Amino acid sequence: KMRMHYIRILPGDKVQVELTPYDLQRGRITYRYK
């Protein structure tokens, strides 16, 4: 199993979310814009 790293997001942060085919309920944040 891959360990999922959760990134703390602040309101207003631009993030890129990737939806995983095996977990449609939760999206994975692939990139966080500075």
Q: What pLDDT does 33 receive?
A: 61
Instruction: Give domain limits for the chain.
Output: 1-34
In tens, the pLDDT along 1-34 reads: 556 565 566 666 666 666 666 665 665 655 566 6
Q: What pLDDT does 18 receive?
A: 65
Residue in 11, 18, 14 with CA at minimum distance from that of residue 29: 18
Residue 3 makes CB contacts below 8 A (sequence gap 6+) with none
Q: What pLDDT does 31 receive?
A: 58
